Chain A
Amino acid sequence: MSFLLLVPIVAPLAAAALALVLGWRRLTSSVTVLAALSILVSAAALGFNRGSGVRFAIANLFRADALSITMLIIIGTVGTLATWASIGYIDAELTHGHTDRKGANLYGVLVPIFLAAMASAVLANNIGVMWVAIEATTVATAFLVGHRRTRAALEATWKYVVICSVGIALAFLGTVLLYFASLHAGASSGDALNIDILLAHASQLDPAVTRLAAGLLLLGYGAKAGLVPFHTWLADAHSQAPAPVSALMSGVLLSVAFYALLRVKSVVDLAVGTGFLRIGLIIVGLLTLLIAASLLVVQTDFKRMLAYSSMENMGLVAVAAAAGTKLAIAALLLHVLAHGIAKTLVFLGSGQLQAARDSTRISDVTGVLARSRMIGITFLVGLAILLGLPPFAMFASELSISRALAAAGLGWVLGAALLFVVIAFAALVRNGSRMLLSPPDAGSAAIAVPRSVAAALVTGVILSLVLGLTAGPLLELFQTAATLLGGTQ
Chain B
Amino acid sequence: MTQATYNGVLNLAAGAFLLAAVLIVWRRELRAIVVLLAWQGIALAAIPVTEGIYQDDAALITVGVVVLLLRAVALPLLLIRAVGTEPQERRESTPLVNTTASLMITAALTVLAYAVTRPIIALDPSPATRAVPAAFAVILIAVFVMVSRRHAVSQAVGFMMLDNGIAATAFLITAGVPLIVELGASLDVMFAVLVLGLLTGHMRRTFGGTDLDQLRELRG
Contacts and interface: CB of A to CB of B under 8 A. Distances in A.
Contacts of B188: 132, 135-136, 138-139
Contacts of B196: 161-162
Contacts of A183: 174
Interface in B182-220: 184-185, 187-188, 191-192, 195-196, 199, 202-203, 206-207, 212, 215-218, 220
Nearest to A212: B119
A166 B195 contact: no
B199 A181 contact: no
Interface in B138-171: 139, 143, 146, 152, 155, 159, 162-163, 166, 169-170
Contacts of A157: 199
Contact of A162 (B155, B170, B187): B155
Contacts of A165: 159, 192
B177 interface: yes
B220 A180 contact: no
B111 interface: no
Nearest to B147: A166
A254 interface: no
A172 interface: yes
Contacts of B199: 142, 146, 154, 157-158, 161
Contacts of A162: 146, 155, 159, 196
A161 B195 contact: yes
Interface string B69-108: 0000000000000000000000000000000000000000
B184 A129 contact: yes
A266 B21 CA distance: 36
Contacts of B122: 208
B4 interface: no
- Counting chain A residues whose Cβ lies within 8 A of the other chain, the interface size class is 35 or more
Contacts of A192: 178
Contacts of B163: 169
A304 B220 contact: yes
A180 B166 contact: no
A55 interface: no
Contacts of A480: none
A131 interface: yes
Nearest to B135: A173
Contacts of A240: 218
A149 interface: yes
B185 A177 contact: no
B115 to A, nearest CB: 11
A78 to B, nearest CB: 24
B215 A193 contact: no
A298 to B, nearest CB: 7
A152 B217 contact: yes
A239 interface: yes
Contacts of B58: none
Nearest to B175: A189
B215 to A, nearest CB: 4
Chain B contact surface mostly? helix
Interface in A25-69: 61
Nearest to B188: A135
Interface string A169-192: 100110111011101100001101
Given A162-B159, A177-B120, A208-B123, A126 B192 contact: no
A208 B217 contact: no
B174 A166 contact: no
Nearest to B184: A132
Given A126-B181, A151-B206, A162-B155, A180 B192 contact: no
A271 to B, nearest CB: 13
A382 interface: no
Contact of A128 (B139, B180, B218): B180
Interface in A133-147: 135-136, 138-139, 142-143, 146
Contacts of A298: 220
Contacts of B187: 132
A269 interface: no
Given A128-B177, A173-B166, A176-B169, A161 B192 contact: yes
Given A132-B185, A139-B191, A169-B162, A158 B177 contact: no
Contact of A179 (B152, B159, B177): B177
B178 A190 contact: yes
B124 interface: yes
Contacts of B146: 162, 166
Contacts of A295: 220
A299 interface: yes
B192 A166 contact: no
A209 B120 contact: yes
Contact of A193 (B143, B177, B203): B177
Given A193-B177, A304-B220, A173 B139 contact: yes
B23 interface: no
A299 B219 CA distance: 10
Contact of B166 (A61, A139, A143, A172): A172
Contacts of B152: 158
B116 interface: yes
Contact of B174 (A132, A136, A176, A212): A176
A208 B166 CA distance: 19
A193 B181 contact: yes
B61 interface: no
A240 B215 CA distance: 14
A183 B170 CA distance: 12
B18 interface: no
17 contacts: A61-B180, A135-B188, A136-B191, A146-B199, A152-B218, A155-B216, A157-B199, A161-B195, A166-B159, A176-B166, A180-B123, A183-B174, A192-B178, A206-B123, A208-B123, A212-B119, A298-B220
Closest 7 CB pairs of A and B: A128-B181, A132-B184, A208-B119, A155-B215, A139-B191, A135-B188, A236-B218
Interface of A: 61, 126, 128-129, 131-132, 135-136, 138-139, 142-143, 146, 149, 151-152, 154-159, 161-162, 165-166, 169, 172-173, 175-177, 179-181, 183-184, 189-190, 192-193, 206, 208-209, 211-212, 235-236, 239-240, 295, 298-300, 304
Given A136-B188, A157-B199, A206-B123, 11 more contacts: A128-B185, A146-B202, A154-B206, A155-B215, A158-B203, A162-B146, A166-B146, A176-B166, A183-B174, A189-B178, A212-B119
